[in-house]
Structures are given as structure tokens and as C-alpha cells.
DNA sequence: AGATCGCCCTGCTTGC
DNA sequence: TGCAAGCAGGGCGATC
């Protein structure tokens, strides 16, 4: 499942292979892939045709392709299994090809949105004066954004009546962190996922943010990691790297710090992996 | 309004 | 062997 590092790898690929090109034609092969484009696939294609693609941008797990000549952008979310591929025009269609974008040039490559589980999609939106698609105005800056405000995050964390992993996955507080990297950052911070955010001290928040950034940077350096072999970067090269994770997916294996078996617990229709010794369950405040 | 929960989707794995 | 259930899970809308 692509998280921030994987999406950034895709963004860089698009910057290299798609920026500056003019859209000639769009084929929407599955309506669900454009469900966020309310006017539908026909309208999506018509509005893109003839426009030049600008510099691809990213916030958290969203990325978008601004149109160079007007304040709008093609917003993309990869969901669970989405891929943006730049393929030769004569390459056979992928089994789960959902959208094809052809360009008005002689490079003989096209952009393809491929998505097995169809949690992802493309849509066209007006951009704010800051260049942000209007529908993602509620998405917080991500921790690799130079303008991410650590102090404001700390205050927001303390105001919330919630627990730390919920907060890390709340894209309106901090974006780009998914289930895998949340568990990794919590393991490094020796924090249990159910620890209430209310009692967080400034140093504790600072340490956690540091680990979040480290985990994301390391994954980005490795080229993005994912347990889902479906994930492929913009050129179709596998983005699956053997980076060893410390908590996620390691149920029953020894904690790399203390040797205790890592546990998996059902949590919010997903799983949380943690070391029961390093990451103690917080005492319930009554 | 903040917090919680169910649903969307497909293919692989597990269990009876 | 065959079928059903479980699992992966981001984001959003409904609900309280």
C-alpha cells in the first residue's frame, strides 16, 4: 500500500516523464476510477484535452498534476493498489487498466492509471491561490513539508481526546502516515498505540515526530517500500524493497530491541503490531 | 463539532 | 476439493 514515500517516488517519476506534455486524448475504462470527478469520465477527458501538464505536486498521499494554463489540477490518489505507469503506447493493456492518457507529441509513451482494488482514482479540481486542489484543503501538511508546524501539531495533539495511533492516521492533523509507518514510528518511540494524546509533553511529541520523519526518509531513500507486490512506480519498476521493518508484519518474531515476541492486535478493521515489553499498555485513566 | 464506525473493492490465504 | 471467511486498508460520509 503506497504511503508518502511511495507516492513521492511516483511524483518524481511523473515530473520526469509527464511534465510539460500536452494531453491529446483520455480514455476512462472504469467509472469508479473517476468517482471523485462528479461530472463523470466523459467530462474528465474533455476538460483535460489540449492542456499542458505542469510540475507534479504532493501533499501526504495525494498528488496532483497542475494544468499549466489554468488554476486546476488532476488530483490522484493511489488508494491501496493504484499505479501510475508511463508505458510505450504499444504495450499491452494491464488487466486492471482504468484510465489512459495519451499525449500530443512524438514520445510514443502514455500515462496509465492501473488499480486492482479501485480504492484510488483521478479527478479534476479547481486549485486554490496556493495551488492546492480545493477538495483536499482539509488535508494537513505532511511531516516532510518544510512548512509543517511542529508546535501547532503538538498543541492540536493535546487538544484531541483520542489515542496516538488514531492521531497519526488522521490526515487532518498530519498527512502521509499510514498503518505501516505509524507502527514503525511508535515502535521506535516505545509508545503503545493506545496511549492518550492528551498527556503528551513537548519532548515526547518532538521525539515521535523525529521518528516519523526518520522512518519516512529511510523508506524514501530505499525507493519506497510496500508489502503489496502490486505496487509499482511510475515506470513499472518494482517499488518493493527489502527494507527490514521493526514492528509491522512481524507477529511472533523477536523484538529487535528486547527479544520479546511482537504482537498483532485487531484495531479499527486493521492490525497494530507492537512489542508488549517496549511499548507498554497505558494505564486506563478513570 | 469532534469522535467513531461502516463501507467501498479484489485477490490471495487460511480453515473446515 | 470446494467453498466461505479472513485479510489487506485509506478516506469519506453517516451518525451520535
* DSSP class per residue in A113-139: EEESS---EEEEEEB-TTS-BGGGTTS
pLDDT digits (tens, 9 = 90+) for A65-119: 999 999 999 999 998 889 999 999 999 999 999 999 999 999 999 999 999 889 9
Asked if A173 contacts A140 with a C-beta cutoff of 8 angstroms, the reply is: yes
CA of A213 to C1' of B15 (A): 40
Q: Cα–Cα distance between A280 and A269 in angstroms, integer?
A: 22
CA of A210 to C1' of C10 (A): 24
CA of A221 to C1' of B13 (A): 31
Give the protein-side footprint of strand C (Cβ within 7 Å): A 1, 3, 60-62, 77, 79-80, 117, 119, 135-136, 138, 169, 171, 175, 178-180, 227, 248, 264, 266, 269-271
Mean pLDDT of A191-205: 94
Based on the residue annotation, tell me whether A61 is a catalytic residue of this protein: yes
Based on the residue annotation, tell me whether A15 is a catalytic residue of this protein: no
Q: For residue A129, how far is the Cα from the chain centroid?
A: 23
From the candidates A61, A165, A188, A195, give the one annotated as an active-site residue.
A61
What is the pTM (predicted TM-score) of this model? 0.91
Asked if A255 contacts A261 with a C-beta cutoff of 8 angstroms, the reply is: yes
A273: number of Cβ within 10 Å: 26
Q: For residue A256, how far is the Cα from the chain centroid?
A: 27
Residues 6+ apart with CB under 8 A from A186: A164, A165, A168, A192, A193, A208, A247, A274, A279
Q: Cα–Cα distance between A264 and A257 in angstroms, integer?
A: 17
Q: What mean pLDDT, rounded, does chain A reach?
A: 89
Q: Which residues pair with A232 in a beta bridge?
A: A238
Q: What is the pLDDT of residue A241?
A: 45
Q: What is the pLDDT of residue A228?
A: 46
3-state helix, strand, coil in chain A (%, to 5): 25, 25, 50
Q: What is the pLDDT of residue A222?
A: 76
Q: Cα–Cα distance between A169 and A140 in angstroms, integer?
A: 11
Q: For chain A, where are the alpha helices, taking DSSP H only?
A: 4-17, 41-48, 150-159, 164-169, 179-189, 202-222
CA of A2 to C1' of C11 (A): 14
Q: Look at residues A188, A211, A194 and name the one whose alpha carbon lies nearest to residue A257.
A: A188
The CATH number corresponding to A150-274 among 3.40.50.2300, 3.40.50.1000, 1.10.8.50, 3.40.190.10 equals: 1.10.8.50
Q: Look at residues A116, A121, A228 and name the one whose alpha carbon lies nearest to residue A178.
A: A228
For the cut 90, the answer to whether the pLDDT of residue A192 exceeds it is yes
Based on the residue annotation, tell me whether A49 is a catalytic residue of this protein: no
What confidence category does residue A281 fall into, taking pLDDT thresholds of 50, 70 and 90?
confident
Q: Which residues pair with A127 in a beta bridge?
A: A133
Nucleotide nearest to A163 (CA to C1'): B3
Q: Cα–Cα distance between A174 and A156 in angstroms, integer?
A: 10
Based on the residue annotation, tell me whether A3 is a catalytic residue of this protein: yes
A270 CB and strand B closer than 7 A: no
The CATH class that applies to domain A4-136 reads alpha beta
Asked if A77 contacts A62 with a C-beta cutoff of 8 angstroms, the reply is: yes
Domains of chain A by residue range: 4-136, 150-274
Among A26-40, A221-235, A242-256, which is the least confidently predicted range?
A221-235
Amino acid at each position: 500500500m503506497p504511503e508518502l514515500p511511495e507516492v513521492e517516488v511516483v511524483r518524481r517519476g511523473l515530473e520526469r516523464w509527464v511534465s510539460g506534455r500536452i494531453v491529446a486524448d483520455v480514455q476512462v475504462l472504469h467509472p469508479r476510477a473517476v468517482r471523485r470527478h462528479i461530472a463523470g469520465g466523459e467530462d474528465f477527458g474533455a476538460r483535460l484535452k489540449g492542456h499542458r501538464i505542469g510540475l507534479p505536486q504532493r501533499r501526504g498521499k495525494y498528488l496532483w498534476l497542475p494544468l499549466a494554463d489554468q488554476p486546476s489540477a488532476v488530483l490522484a490518489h493511489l488508494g491501496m493498489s493504484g499505479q501510475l505507469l508511463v508505458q510505450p503506447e504499444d504495450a499491452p493493456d494491464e488487466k486492471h487498466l482504468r484510465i489512459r492518457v495519451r499525449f500530443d507529441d512524438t514520445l510514443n509513451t502514455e500515462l496509465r492509471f492501473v488499480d486492482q482494488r479501485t480504492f484510488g482514482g483521478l479527478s479534476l479540481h479547481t486549485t486554490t491561490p496556493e495551488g492546492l486542489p480545493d477538495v483536499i484543503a482539509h488535508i494537513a501538511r505532511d511531516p516532510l513539508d518544510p512548512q509543517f508546524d511542529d508546535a501547532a501539531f503538538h498543541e492540536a495533539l493535546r487538544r484531541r481526546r483520542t489515542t496516538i495511533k488514531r492521531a497519526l492516521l488522521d490526515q487532518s492533523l498530519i498527512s502521509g502516515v499510514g498503518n505501516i509507518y505509524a507502527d514503525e514510528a511508535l515502535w521506535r518511540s516505545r509508545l503503545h498505540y493506545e496511549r492518550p494524546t492528551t498527556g503528551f509533553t513537548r519532548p515526547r511529541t518532538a521525539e515521535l515526530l523525529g521518528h516519523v520523519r526518520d522512518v519516512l526518509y529511510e523508506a524514501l531513500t530505499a525507493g519506497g517500500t510496500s508489502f503489496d507486490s502490486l505496487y509499482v512506480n511510475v515506470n513499472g519498476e518494482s517499488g518493493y524493497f527489502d527494507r527490514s521493518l521493526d514492528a509491522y508484519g512481524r507477529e511472533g518474531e523477536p523484538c529487535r530491541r528486547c527479544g520479546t515476541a511482537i504482537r498483532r492486535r485487531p484495531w479499527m478493521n486493521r492490525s497494530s503490531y507492537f512489542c508488549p515489553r517496549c511499548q507498554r499498555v497505558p494505564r486506563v485513566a478513570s
